[in-house]
Structure 1
Amino acid sequence: MKANELLVEDISIDRERRKALNELKEQLAQRAVNFLEGSKSKPSEMGDKQIRNLVALAQMAATPLEIEAFIDYQMGRDNKEVSWSKRIEGEPFGERLKRELKEIVDMARQKRPEDKRFSLLCLAQFFGYLAWRVKYLEYLRAQSGEGRR
């Protein structure tokens, strides 16, 4: 196979991925809203930057297991249980996030079963929406006076 033939095939795969991702964007955005809704909010000590780090990690990772390992690492570092290990509705935030991660990977594999990279694209999109949601919730908290000290 010639190099230019491979390039055309890669472009075609990329187009198919983008189309499939576009079809899932609304579901991913809604999942981000639902994940941080009401009493299921994020720990107050966790900012949007920590969630944005997950976007970058999803873009660089070779497998979703790398992201799970990173979340485990962050939970292990959180000795005071104020961010990744903080319990929200009886479960550590990091464990809730890993459960959500697995559900998104399952959703992505249903859409494109043979495409491992697609799961990571879906995760990066979800984490991006989640970071936006975190920033918005911080704004609401500041507007209501909770963020002022």
Structure 2
Amino acid sequence: MSRTRKNPLLAVLDASFLLGAVCTAIFYAIIHSPGMHGTLLHRYTTEHLVEYVVVALSFWGIIDVLGKLLSYPREALALRHQWFPESWIGREPVSNAAGLLESVNSQPKWLRDSRIGKRLAAGLEYVVENGCNDQYREYLQSLAHKDADRTYSNFTL
């Protein structure tokens, strides 16, 4: 389960940043139009370079928050999704892990790309490859820590 790291430049240029830059450019195209000169909005958003930065960061933050809000219903639906057969209760033999992984991988892409879908697939892949050995619990805890770190990093711009 190897993951390639993003180029640092591409990590900064995410979709919310690019959309924020576009909104900032549109905003300032409107603000610098002749009809807006002398208005209070023009005065408070163009007097100093700092105001340009504040407006750009505001648009970036608003779009980032809206993007996170729009992803919430997908995550909520994925949490309520019936991932495994209803007859499944409790522990399963390790030999069934491949079938369960196939069941998870046969779900629609939006479900597989949800946090719970990725976590289930990663846990089942580990069991298929290594069985339920002594490091299984530590591996699940490392997945939890990675998800917590990802969640924490998503709160920053």
TM-score, structure 2 as length reference: 0.31
Larger RCO, structure (CA 8 Å, separation 6 or more): 1
Q: Which has the larger radius of gyration?
A: 2
TM-score, structure 1 as length reference: 0.32
